[in-house]
Structure 1
Amino acid sequence: MAAATDHDQKAGFARPLSISESVHEQIYQRIMSLEILPGARIPIDQLARELNVSQTPVRDALTRLEREGLVRKAHLIGYSAAPQLTPKEFDDLYRFRLMLEPESARQACLRLTPEKLERLENAAADMEKGEQPVSRNSRYSRFARADAHFHDEILKVADNEFARQALNDRHIHLHIFRLMFHSRVTQEALEEHERLLAAFRAGDADAAYHAMHDHIERSRDRLAAAFE
């Protein structure tokens, strides 16, 4: 198995991932890129052979992915990739986001300090910077993590743990990004995030509300084609 690395921002060098971290990353990328299809069984022994590792780090990775909502475990059956959202779940999810996230953006704007704004700026910048992804799979999986982090940082600044937990418990962004794999996601989302940041910089809470509302609506429209 090829050595993997993770960029240490403080030290300024790439450090090797542990075997467990590397296995988790590779299975994560397979799931997010639909190489492992939603609902497909994930045989531990076969995956261990493909990744040239023992079954232990594969089991550890699948346990972690189960906590993250991307893998399910059934008695006597084993692990499988979580099913994709149904059209009804997709519609319910976006109506829920439209109720929750625009107001959270407004509240975040009202609570911004220079330090908190810097955190949001850094989280947004991470979607464009960092180490160059080595493949299309890693590009999308990395963007998924960075996007989820950016939205979570806004919810942190809004200081409503109930809202934040409600979104995190559903692993919303991870499931959405499996839909996004073949869509025109990255550039449009980055432009929408920049409009949201502009509202934060201006201290315009109403503009932040509308920028987030617009972003979520556009995201929904981009992904609706996945159900056609």
Structure 2
Amino acid sequence: MTTEQQAPAPEIAVTRGRKAQPPIGGEVYEELLSRILASQIGPGGRITIDAIARELGVSQTPIREALHRLEADGVVVRTHMAGYRVAPKITREQFENLVEVRLLLEPAAARRAAERVTDDELAALRSVADSMTPSMIATSGERGYALFSQRDALLHDAIAEGGRNSFIRDSLARLHTHVHLFRLADHANITERAIGEHAEIIAAIGRRDPDAAAYAMRHHVEASAERFRTAFD
């Protein structure tokens, strides 16, 4: 069934059978993102601001701020007189186009990072990578997968930043790659295998080996694409 043929999902009561703690700011964003990535609010599902505000025990302001941010990420869409709904997942064609663009940009970003990254930036890269562990996902409960996707995005952005090419970095940022991909599946092997691939990329950057860094990034993008393609099978 194509995106155009998909009927909007019914309005969803966003409860979990437990008393919610009152998150604010970025925590509201993480909460909503985790529900979307876990398909607790499916494609087309309506997001009711006042209902979520009551459930989380916060004002409508941080809810609206989170929704604006999710809209910028392409995760939710706002329609006239209908409020916010979860955006459709990307189609197979969009997915393949996204992979093609990543293969053009990300190996180049890794190559440049190996040539130009500072010692402080390299240390920051390693810190982000070290925080992305299976135990982090397990101990974070329902938010674990969303947190991993955010740190994955942070790691790739830091590599692009270290490459000192603002055009590559801005282009990758506008793709919102990680949110779109992580909406496709939530299998453990997607996160566990990525951890090892990240380590290879950072090791090559740390050796200041541009060819190895570009190769490791290309391998990671291609392997990641194979893992996510199962969502379309």
TM-score where L is the length of structure 2: 0.84
Moved more, 180-189 or 76-85: 180-189
**What residue in structure 2 maps to residue 163 of structure 1?**
168
* 2:51 paired residue among 46, 52, 61: 46
Q: How far is the alpha carbon of 1:53 from its aligned partner? A: 4.1
Which one of 175, 183, 186 corresponds to residue 180 of structure 2? 175
State the secondary structure of the residue aligned to 1:73: strand
Structure 2 Cα separation of the partners of residues 107 and 140 of structure 1: 29
Unaligned runs of 5+ in 1: 5-16
Asked whether the 8 Å contact 2:121–2:162 carries over to 1, the reply is yes
Contact 1:183 1:223 in 2 (8 A): no
Q: Select the residue among 12, 25, 41 that pairs with 1:36.
A: 41
Where 2:40 maps in the other structure, the secondary structure is: coil
RMSD: 2.1
**What is aligned with 2:122?**
117
Partner in structure 1 of residue 193 of structure 2: 188
**Which string of whole-angstrom CA distances, capped at 9 and with x for unpartnered residues, describes residues 169-226 of structure 1?**
1211111111131352111000001111221122211010100000000000000010
SS in 2 for 1:39: coil
Instruction: Look up the match of 1:9.
Output: none
Pick one of 139, 148, 164 that aligns with 1:133: 139
CA distance in 2, matches of 1:215, 1:100: 13
Structure 2 unaligned segments of length 5 or more: list them: 1-18
1:3 partnered with 2:21: yes
TM-score (ref. length: structure 1) = 0.85
SS at match of 1:79: strand
Give matches, 1:18-97, under 5 Å: 19-97=24-102
Deviates more, 1:184-193 or 1:126-135: 126-135
Aligned-partner Cα distance in 2 for 1:181–1:68: 19
Is 1:204 the counterpart of 2:209? The answer is yes
CA contact (8 A) 1:102 1:208 kept: yes
The DSSP-based 3-state class of the residue aligned with 2:213 is helix
Tell me the residue number matched to 2:105.
100
Distance (whole Å) between structure 2 residues aligned to residue 34 and residue 62 of structure 1: 17
Q: SS of 1:180's equivalent?
A: coil
